[in-house]
Amino acid sequence: MPVEELVYVIDDDPAMRDSLDFLLESAGLKARLFESAVSFLAALPGLGPGCIVSDVRMPDLDGLELLKRLRATNKSLPIIIMTGHGDIPLAVEAMKLGARDFIEKPFEDDRLIGSITAALSGATERHKNEAMAADIASRIASLSPRERQVLDGLVAGLSNKLIARDYDISPRTIEVYRANVMTKMQASSVSELVRFAIRGGILND
């Protein structure tokens, strides 16, 4: 696994945190430990890609509330919930709130590692997609109002002449704006420009 992929372990039991840290290290995974959901959320804005392994029953802020808070952020870290015996109804509720999986204690090491590995694979791809979408959105934001109008015309399939007629300016001027749009959007073709527009949220797939 790439070094930037971390497993964020959240558990108020120090022995459990240490045990999970040792298990993950043995499996070649790097962990960052948190003693509470509150401390994790405080650090969340600065965290990179990875997945969360959290106990469901914790003081102050439990695993279910953590899931609710995560849904309100722009972080799409997958979360695996650990539950004790008799917490299955809580685990079901956690799945409804977006948990990727739940593991009942005591759990088999291979079961947990397998779930984490699958979650990390998906998390890395989502992180790349989110980073690309944010980069494209910043390119779109750098366009002037007129360049944005030209972009909208191009992704709508309009020719330079039609865009010029819509805004009552010369086709030659549109060519200049079009060249600026292609440069700022880092697009080598109109088809690539359209793909960028989709990724940037201008168009829907």
| Distance set, CA 176 to CA 161, 169, 172, 181, 183 (Å) | 13, 12, 7, 9, 11
pLDDT at 1: 41
| CA 174 – CA 160 distance, rounded (Å) | 6
- pLDDT mean values, one per 10 residues, the chain (205 residues): 73 93 92 94 88 90 89 82 76 83 85 88 67 86 93 87 92 93 90 79 60
For the chain, the structural domain boundaries read 6-130, 142-199
pLDDT at 31: 93
pLDDT at 177: 94
pLDDT at 163: 92
Q: Evaluate the CA torsion angle 54, 55, 61, 64 in order and state its sign.
A: positive
pTM: 0.62
pLDDT at 196: 83
pLDDT at 86: 65
CATH class of domain segment(s) 6-130? alpha beta
Sheet order of strands, 101-104 included: 30-34, 6-10, 50-55, 79-83, 101-104
Any idea which fold 142-199 has?
Arc Repressor Mutant, subunit A (1.10.10)
